[in-house]
């Protein structure tokens, strides 16, 4: 029902119900099921029919829009920026192969919000022909899904994928795995009923906070270790086939794509795994032994002991006959390659091979900011680029340096130039041009200071080795 009169929207709505997963989580008082809202930042003045960017944050288990504030990038680049909320965890992705629990509800929330923006962006001074999706982690995987789904594909023209891919074990479950997960979930909550309808009714009778609480699986499995409800193939048709199959098919429309990763994707997760699983290894100083290095590998992927030895040994080989300066750094490299980098690279390869007319740009964000003050071994951790994309250093003169501000202005210019033209290069830039990615040259941009450098073949050798050692199932989730 449309409302009448003027509605004042000066504060965020509640975040969707979620577990206390990370220390930065939203308090229980600021969570709820009435959470499906979007937010808009509209720069004053400038041209009509502005370009719009739609931010999809992570993740499928926990996350909110409050942590990403686009006011700086909107004002600095004269771009309309929307952020959207969506249901997460079991409330967003529970799958019983039933009309009342069809799976992918969270992605459908996103899709509806994107269509609403498409239909109404003119009222905000934008154009429905100038819409770019961008997202990080599960948000990046979501952008990938919207590219593959005919439900959403008509409602945007460009896509930016940051550290996420639809075709991974942390972004997709086959229907059989999704159904097994749902049944185990219901059993653990005391809803092991005879029929699916009874199970759903029982779950509905429980408080959202109880349904959304973390469930550690009796047999913890990497890379998530908890009982996660993820996107799957659904009867509605939002995801009609596995992402691996869909990526093999040419897209029916031109979508320019920018995508990339950060240098040390899994560093934060290593500390989280140790705490979650109560592993008796002290990594507070960033130092682990060779034996501990090999004990860490099962936290990253499932394989035989022989395969762990093969992969662990191969990643150490460049350092021989000496030991690596840090075994933990090598562990982070392996996890980052398997969980994030190789899947994102595979998306770039598929797009540039199956859709050679589509423009693709790739980046690796490697700039080591000094704020927030994290242990040095964290390096450039997962989502580290977000604060620079959203312009945080420009409004914080205490914690950020001049170089931080230059990097942030560059990132905002790259992201919004791509949104406006399909090309991240911008006028009056004195640094090297950012060259497009193609399946042969595999050029990408290394953003490691205020004047980035060219790269070629990002993790090409490592991803080829991992695919051979682990099979396509680990890297491509087949």
Active-site residues, by number, are 137
Block residue for tokens 């309309």: 80
Angle, alpha carbons 165-167-171 (nearest 5°): 70
Q: How distant is the alpha carbon of residue 427 from its chain centre? A: 29
Alpha helices by DSSP H, 369-459: 386-389, 402-421
Which two structure tokens, joined as six digits, stand for 151? 């439900």
**E strand map for 228-359:** 256-262
Bridge-based pairing of strands 443-447 and 453-456 is antiparallel
| DSSP three-state, residue 52 | strand
Measuring CA to CA, how many Å separate 447 from each of 99, 313, 382? 46, 30, 15
Q: Which is nearest to 31 in space by CA: 51, 14, 47?
A: 14
| DSSP three-state, residue 15 | strand
- DSSP class of residue 226 equals B
Q: Which is nearest to 225 in space by CA: 163, 278, 287?
A: 278
**Cβ atoms of residues 79 and 418 within 8 Å:** no
């Amino acid at each position: 029902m449309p409302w009448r009169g003027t509605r004042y929207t000066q504060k965020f709505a509640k975040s969707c119900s979620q577990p206390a997963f990370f220390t930065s989580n939203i308090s229980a008082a600021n969570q709820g099921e009435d959470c499906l809202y979007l937010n808009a930042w509209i720069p004053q003045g400038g041209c009509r029919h502005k370009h719009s960017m739609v931010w999809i944050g992570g993740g499928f288990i926990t996350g909110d829009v409050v942590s990403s504030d686009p006011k700086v990038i909107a004002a600095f680049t004269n771009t309309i920026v929307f952020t959207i909320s969506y249901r997460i965890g079991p409330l967003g992705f529970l799958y019983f192969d039933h009309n009342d629990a069809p799976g992918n509800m969270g992605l459908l929330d996103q899709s509806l919000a994107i269509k609403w923006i498409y239909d109404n962006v003119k009222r905000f001074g934008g154009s429905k022909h100038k819409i770019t999706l961008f997202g990080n982690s599960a948000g990046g995987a979501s952008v990938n899904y919207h590219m593959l789904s005919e439900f959403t594909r008509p409602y945007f023209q460009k896509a930016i994928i940051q550290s996420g891919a639809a075709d991974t074990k942390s972004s997709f479950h086959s229907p059989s795995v999704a159904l097994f997960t749902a049944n185990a979930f219901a059993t653990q909550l005391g809803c092991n009923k005879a029929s699916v309808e009874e199970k759903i009714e029982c779950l509905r009778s429980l408080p959202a906070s109880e349904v959304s609480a973390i469930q550690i699986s009796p047999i913890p499995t990497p890379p998530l270790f908890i009982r996660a409800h993820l996107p799957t193939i659904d009867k509605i048709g939002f995801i009609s086939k596995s992402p691996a199959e869909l990526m093999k098919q040419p897209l029916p429309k031109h979508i320019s794509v920018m995508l990339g990763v950060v240098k040390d994707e899994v560093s934060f997760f290593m500390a989280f795994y140790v705490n979650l699983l109560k592993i008796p290894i002290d990594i507070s100083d960033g130092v682990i032994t060779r034996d501990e290095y090999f004990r860490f590998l099962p936290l990253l992927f499932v394989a035989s002991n022989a395969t762990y030895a093969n992969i662990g040994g191969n990643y150490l080989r460049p350092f021989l006959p000496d030991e690596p300066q840090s075994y933990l750094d090598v562990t982070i490299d392996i996890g980052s390659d398997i969980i994030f980098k190789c899947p994102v690279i595979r998306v770039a390869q598929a797009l540039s091979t199956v859709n050679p007319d589509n423009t693709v740009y790739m980046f690796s964000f490697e700039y080591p900011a000094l704020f927030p003050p994290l242990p040095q071994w964290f390096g450039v951790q997962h989502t580290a680029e977000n604060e620079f994309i959203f312009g945080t250093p420009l409004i914080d003169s205490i914690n950020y340096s001049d170089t931080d501000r230059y990097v942030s202005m560059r990132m905002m210019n790259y992201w919004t130039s791509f949104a406006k033209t399909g090309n991240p290069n911008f006028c009056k830039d004195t640094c090297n041009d950012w060259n497009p990615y193609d399946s042969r040259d595999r050029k990408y941009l290394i953003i490691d200071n205020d004047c980035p450098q060219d790269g070629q073949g990002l993790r090409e050798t490592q991803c080829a080795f991992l695919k051979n050692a682990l099979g396509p199932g680990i890297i491509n989730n087949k």
